[in-house]
Amino acid sequence: MNKFESVETLVIGSGPGGYVAALRSSQLGMKTAIVERSQLGGVCTHVGCIPSKALIAESHRYDVLRQFNNVDAAASFKNAQDFKQGIVNKQAGGVSYLLKSAGVSILEGEASLVDEHTAIINQSGAEQTLSFKYAILATGSRPIELQAFPVGGRILSSTEALSLPEVPTSLVVIGGGYIGVELGQMYAKFGTKVTILEGGEQVLPGFETELAAPVVWQMLADGINIISGATAEKVVQNADSITLHYLKNQEQHHVTAEYALVTIGRKPNTDGKLGLARIGLPVTSRGLIETDEQCRTAIPHIFAIGDITAGPALAHKASYEGKIAAEAIAGHASEVDYKAIPLVVFSNPELASVGLSETEAKAKSIPIVMGKSTFAINGRALALRETEGFVKIVANPTSGIVIGAQIVGVEASTLISELGLAIEIGANVEDLAMTIHPHPTLGEVIMEAAENAVRKMMMES
């Protein structure tokens, strides 16, 4: 074992949490190394956000084209897979370029913590030791595996589902969360007969029913069979199909398909060789690491960010925490403030939420005024033939300060940032209503929802 070098900041894991943390740390003048056991860019770049959004966008293009031309689903899917891989490679190359340009040392291998200031990096049996003053743990997560749904062969996790060589004829998706809905709808657009099984009463649990409804209508129009209120019991692999056994209304049922996709949640990578127990760093019963408002763990010079910490497992949450942790190490007073983390589902139509919803505010007895407007008569939405959906803004009834917003409709993923900014800077609905929005644009629906809230406030004052 050779003594490699010592750094001020060692970042373990190069997903959107780790690579952003390493960049910020280096930009702030600290000698920084990042270690990655698999591929630079992590889950998001290789088997998460980027490939899924590439395939989803391609499925929409195919869906439009097939209405006007005689396009071949198999060839279109093959092109979509090639296109996806090209984007993934570009994005991973971008991460590498950014890290190198910022002077971050990139180490390939698996990091194990041996004491509070030392890690061993193992690459195919060759070991090197690295000492660090500070560490940022950003080791991410992997799909949960249950004995009843053994991933392999025709039983897929999201990772395999993103790389199928051809369009399946039929697919059963276990779990109607955002990953199940996004991938299920993507395959349905390419012509797969999709069934989604969800334990709760609606797919996309966590979103208000009126928000999820336009997505559900479109899923039904795409030919997706949604079975809700059902408990998946086991998946059996047959010679060239799978059979999912499930319980609904206390009765046994089964459904057979070419593949099963298991999307029942993810598990933090805090076990295995990382060595948390060795350095005395505890994890919760779910395997998460507890942190303070600067992302600091119980060991003050070790920080944890992203999917291994509490909160939504999302790339932008991981990156945000990465910046905070690096700034805290540099001695800045930066602290996390989670009131404006956007949640987006890249369904058709898209769904996005930031801050509190009307239902959440009511459950917490927080007084609100709610402004609403629809895409139905918006000029841009009409021109795009995308008139489904609406914008909801939740605000304080006295000051009008925006505390939450939800959008279902075209480009909800992009539009939500205006409302996130409003929450972040403490803007009120009048600020949004009086901001001149260009015409004709989808953003005018936000302005009109804000005007609706202002009118309600005036009537009630």
Annotated binding site: 53, 139-141, 175-182, 198, 265, 307
For the annotated binding site for FAD, the residues are 53, 139-141, 307
Restricting to residues 104-123, name those near ligand FAD by CB under 6 A.
Answer: 110-111
**DSSP letters for 34-86:** EEESS-TTHHHHHHSHHHHHHHHHHHHHHHHHHHHS---HHHHHHHHHHHHHH
Interacting residue with ligand FAD among 140, 177, 355, 409 (CB under 6 A): 140
Strand-pairing partners, residue 260, are 155, 172
Q: Cα 137 from chain centroid?
A: 19
Q: Cα 458 from chain centroid?
A: 38
**DSSP letters for 285-308:** TTSPPP--TTSB-SSTTEEE-GGG
Q: Are 309 and 321 in contact (CB under 8 A)?
A: yes
Q: How far is the CB of 47 from ligand FAD (least distance, A)?
A: 6
Restricting to residues 267-306, name those near ligand FAD by CB under 6 A.
Answer: 269, 274, 306
Binding segment toward ligand FAD, per CB under 6 A, in 10-18, 125-133, 382-390, 419-427: 10-18
Positive or negative, the Cα torsion across 394, 399, 400, 403? negative
43 binds ligand FAD (CB under 6 A): yes
Positive or negative, the Cα torsion across 379, 381, 387, 389? negative
Nearest-angstrom CA–CA distance, 5 and 115? 16
203 binds ligand FAD (CB under 6 A): no
18 binds ligand FAD (CB under 6 A): yes
Binding segment toward ligand FAD, per CB under 6 A, in 31-39, 65-73, 357-365, 442-450: 31-39
Whats the size of the chain, residue-wise? 461
342 binds ligand FAD (CB under 6 A): no
15 binds ligand FAD (CB under 6 A): yes
17 binds ligand FAD (CB under 6 A): yes
Q: Assess whether 439 carries a catalytic annotation.
A: yes
Interacting residue with ligand FAD among 55, 315, 340, 432 (CB under 6 A): 315
R_g over Cα of the chain: 24
Interacting residue with ligand FAD among 12, 22, 23, 368 (CB under 6 A): 12
Binding site for ligand FAD (CB under 6 A): 12-18, 35-38, 42-44, 48-49, 52-53, 110-111, 138-141, 158, 179, 269, 274, 306-307, 313-316, 318, 346
